[in-house]
């Protein structure tokens, strides 16, 4: 049995943070260098965006529906049932839409990136790529980062709209609210800062998902077991970091856009 060394663990942790920081920085600087692999970007956009659309739509719809259903009891006590659309709108656009979409995409795509790149790593395909003069970070990482950022932005918009539609269905069919009143309340309650906060988060979340997935994939070792371990670590790390970063982004933006 191998003994646990706190010093070795600290060194490995520092090295992992350093490797991730270099990978993330390189993925950004590659955008300004030729060649640019547009075909890979489009392929990854299809895999990440179109492939994640069903789970994002389902998650957004039922989240909005549950929001409307749960808030109805509380609002009815104060005679404010007509504010259901406002509550669903603000909750979905500011927080739940971006965060839940990010978590769903992280669970689906961070694991896929880690397993794909991990398989390439353990079979020495990445070493062969370097031997042929191709930069793996530019060929493999940057297209995934660009595609994740762009597609998560649009997936979040779709999730918000579908969530509002789910809330409207519950409000009209189960709560007997007027459909026009629901959508008017939902639309008029949104301010610029709400939309800005909800759409700036997917940019950071997409970057986190892609870089974390690629980082664990490129660090995979130990054959198929190592690939499986890297896949699990990528999903857990991406999900936790999304939740942590969401808190700091929200706190930072609330300092600039204080609640009215």
- Residue 211 located in a structural domain: yes
Distance, in Å, from the CA atom of 111 to the CA atom of 113, rounded to the nearest integer, reads 6
Q: Is 26 within the bounds of a domain?
A: no
Chain segment 199-235, per-residue pLDDT in tens: 999 999 999 999 999 999 888 887 778 888 888 889 9
Please answer whether residues 206 and 108 qualify as being in contact, where contact means their C-beta atoms are separated by less than 8 angstroms: no
Tell me what pLDDT residue 104 has.
Answer: 93
Q: How far from chain centre, in Å, is Cα 122?
A: 27
Report the domain count for the chain.
1
DSSP letter for each residue of 56-92: HHHHHHHHHHHHHHHHHHHHHHTT-GGGHHHHHHHHI
| Inside any domain, residue 15 | no
Residue 62 lies in a domain: yes
Q: What is the pTM of this model?
A: 0.87
pLDDT score recorded for residue 121? 84
The pLDDT tens digits for 7-55 are 877 888 888 888 888 888 888 888 888 888 888 889 888 988 888 899 9
Is 27 part of any domain?
no
More confident site: 135 or 258: 135
Q: Which domain holds residue 225?
A: 38-256
Which residues, including other chains, have CB under 8 Å from residue 238's CB and lie 6 or more apart? Answer: 106, 110, 208, 209, 212, 213
Q: What is the pLDDT of residues 147-205, one digit of tens each?
A: 999 999 999 999 999 999 998 888 888 878 888 888 888 888 888 888 888 899 999 99
Q: What is the band of 128 on the pLDDT scale with cuts at 50, 70, 90?
A: confident
Mean pLDDT of 113-127: 86
Q: Comparing 256 with 144, which gets the higher pLDDT?
A: 144
Residue 177 lies in a domain: yes
Give the per-residue pLDDT at 13: 80
Q: Is the pLDDT of residue 1 over 50?
A: no
Q: What is the pLDDT of residue 103?
A: 93
Q: Residue 232: inside a domain, yes or no?
A: yes
| 80-107 pLDDT per residue, tens | 677 778 888 888 888 889 999 999 999 8
- Note whether residue 30 is domain-resident: no
* DSSP reduced 3-state for 5: coil
Cα distance between residue 189 and residue 37, in whole Å: 42
């Amino acid at each position: 049995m191998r003994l646990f060394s706190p010093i070795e663990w600290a060194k490995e942790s520092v090295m992992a943070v350093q490797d991730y920081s270099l990978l993330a920085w390189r993925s950004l600087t590659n955008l300004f260098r030729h060649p640019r692999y547009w075909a890979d970007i489009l392929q990854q956009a299809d895999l990440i965006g179109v492939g994640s659309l069903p789970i994002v739509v389902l998650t957004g719809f039922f989240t909005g529906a549950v929001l409307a259903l749960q808030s109805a009891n509380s609002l009815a006590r104060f005679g404010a049932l007509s504010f259901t659309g406002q509550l669903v709108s603000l909750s979905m656009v500011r927080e739940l839409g971006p965060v839940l979409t990010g978590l769903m995409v992280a669970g689906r795509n961070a694991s896929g990136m880690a397993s794909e790149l991990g398989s390439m790593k353990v079979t020495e395909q990445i070493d062969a790529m370097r031997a042929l003069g191709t930069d793996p970070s530019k060929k493999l990482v940057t297209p995934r980062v660009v595609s994740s950022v762009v597609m998560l932005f649009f997936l979040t918009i779709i999730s918000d709209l579908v969530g509002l539609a789910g809330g409207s269905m519950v409000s009209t069919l189960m709560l007997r609210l007027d459909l026009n009143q629901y959508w008017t309340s939902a639309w008029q309650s949104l301010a610029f800062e709400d939309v800005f906060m909800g759409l700036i988060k997917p940019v950071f979340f997409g970057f986190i998902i892609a870089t974390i997935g690629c980082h664990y994939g490129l660090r995979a070792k130990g054959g198929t077991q190592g690939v499986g371990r890297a896949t699990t670590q990528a999903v857990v790390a991406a999900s936790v970091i999304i939740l942590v970063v969401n808190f700091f982004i929200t706190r930072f933006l609330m300092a600039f856009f204080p609640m009215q």
